[in-house]
A = this chain, B = another copy of it.
Amino acid sequence: MVERALLLLSSSRVHGYGFLEHAKPEITNFFNKRNVQTILFVPYALKDYDKYTAVVSEALTPMGYKVEGIHTKGDPIKAIDSAQAIFVGGGNTFVLLKTLYEKNLVEVIRNRVLNQGVPYMGSSAGTNVATASINTTNDMPVAYPPSFVALNLVPFNINPHYLETDPNTKHKGETRDQRINEYLEYEQQSRGVLGLREGTALLVEGQKATLLGDRNAKLFRPNQEPVEYKPNADLSFLLQ
């Protein structure tokens, strides 16, 4: 049994940067440490798999990795079984999770990552599906998956693209914090929701979790005030 290795990015795009560019040091550290040369890319969260894979390849090839789209392999289960590393990209979380269930990939990915230590990178929807459930996605529910339970590579939830609502807005829709608190009121057994601002990521190596990036993360837990954590904070307690 090899320890799990996860790099969970809030987003693939950050203002002022190209696709995945803001996270280049974290990405190369993560994969190089594990001698990864080829990354299996899972494009299911967007509609055009070829186009999406081309965008990802354009970003990761200059960093030194070969990118292969899982849809170009005959059998996606075998592709996961032989992958050196997996990257699940963002898009619509509901479409992504539904497709993972339809292709019977949920348990396969979970086993490869948790029991065989295959490095997993996710961004946005790819980060959502790595957590306990997709209950705290920001996406519109355009597809109906057979469950909101996700890969459960970590036992808590993440809210990617986290941001505070402009306090001066005249809009009366719920704020992000209200939405997250709605979840925690409804799911009192939740292990918490980590609000990951754009430009940040969670690195998980075995039983250690570390906040990466240049901004704080905000942790919401049932019946508690939210807590801000600074860059490089040790968040390993969330894994217990």
| Residue A143 lies at the interface, judged by CB distance under 8 Å to chain B | yes
- Kindly state the separation between the CA atoms of A182 and B95 in the bound complex, as whole angstroms: 10
Please encode chain A, from 163 to 189, with 1 for each CB lying within 8 Å of some chain B CB and 0 for all others. Answer: 100000011111000011011011100
- A104-149 interface (Cβ within 8 A of B): 134-144, 147-148
Q: A172–B15 contact, CB under 8 A?
A: yes
The 3 A-B residue pairs with the shortest CB-CB distance in the complex, in nearest-first order: A15-B170, A161-B173, A140-B179
Interface SS majority for chain A? loop
Q: Chain A, 34-48, contact with B by CB distance < 8 Å: what is the 0/1 string?
A: 000000000000010
Residues of A within 8 A of B (CB): 11, 13-16, 47, 92, 94-95, 134-144, 147-148, 161, 163, 170-174, 179-180, 182-183, 185-187, 198
Measured CB to CB, the nearest residue on chain B to A147 is: B144
Q: Are A182 and B138 touching (Cβ within 8 A)?
A: no
* B138 A137 Cβ-Cβ under 8 A: no
Check if A140 sits within 8 Å of B135, measured CB to CB.
Answer: yes
**CB-CB under 8 A for A140 and B183, given A172-B198, A173-B11:** yes
> Smallest CB–CB gap between A180 and chain B, Å?
7
Please judge, given known A-B contacts A13-B172, A171-B198, whether A135 and B142 are in contact too, CB under 8 Å: yes
Whether A141 lies near B137 (C-beta < 8 A) is yes
Q: How far is the CA of A174 from the CA of B182 in the complex (A)?
A: 21
CB distance from A92 to the nearest CB of B (A): 5
Identity of the chain B residue whose Cβ is nearest the Cβ of A94 in the assembled complex? B141
* CB pair A186 B95 closer than 8 Å: yes
Bound-state CA distance A160–B218 (Å) is: 28
For residue A95, which residue of chain B has the nearest CB?
B186
Considering the chains assembled together, what is the distance between the CA atoms of A203 and B196 in angstroms?
41
